[in-house]
Amino acid sequence: MTEVYNTTNQKLKRRMLKANMPKAEILLWLRLKGKGLCGYKFRRQYSIGKFVVDFYCPKLKLAIEVDGDSHFIEGADVHDRERQAIIETYGIAFLRFTNREIYENIDGVLDKILGHTQNLPPLTPPY
């Protein structure tokens, strides 16, 4: 790993976030872990610079965020956009989903994850 990814100074924060994952993140993780999404390896609570993203696929250079209630309070959208812009400066694509999207349409979420780039193989269920 380089100095930017999964730095030691973020280790306790990552552990705390892993231990306290919201239900929507757990549901998505169950579908992503163990190369469960067409063979792509995802990591959870992965740090990039000073930020920790919910999920990250190194091969795709793709960060995924699951937005719960805390992302909808006043000012949170500005912080989220700034954070996303910084992460994207590392050449990382960024997808954002709401808890509701995961609860109501997890297959659609998985389709969007796979379809974010044209270089991916076609979706072949089961995920």
| The token pair that represents 3 in the structure block | 């100095």
User: pLDDT tens, 38-67?
Assistant: 899 999 999 999 899 999 999 999 999 998
Q: Is residue 121 part of a domain?
A: no
Q: How many domains would you assign to the chain?
A: 1
Residues of the chain scoring pLDDT < 50: 1, 123, 127
Cα angle 127-108-88, degrees, rounded to a multiple of 5: 95
Query: pTM for this one?
Result: 0.82
Q: Does residue 123 fall inside a structural domain?
A: no
CB 37 within 8 Å of CB 110: yes
Question: Following DSSP, what letter does each residue of 68-116 receive, concatenated?
Answer: -GGGGSTTHHHHHHHHHHHHHTTT-EEEEEEHHHHHHHHHHHHHHHHTT
Report the pLDDT value the prediction gives residue 1, as an integer from 0 to 100. 45
Residue 55 in domain: yes
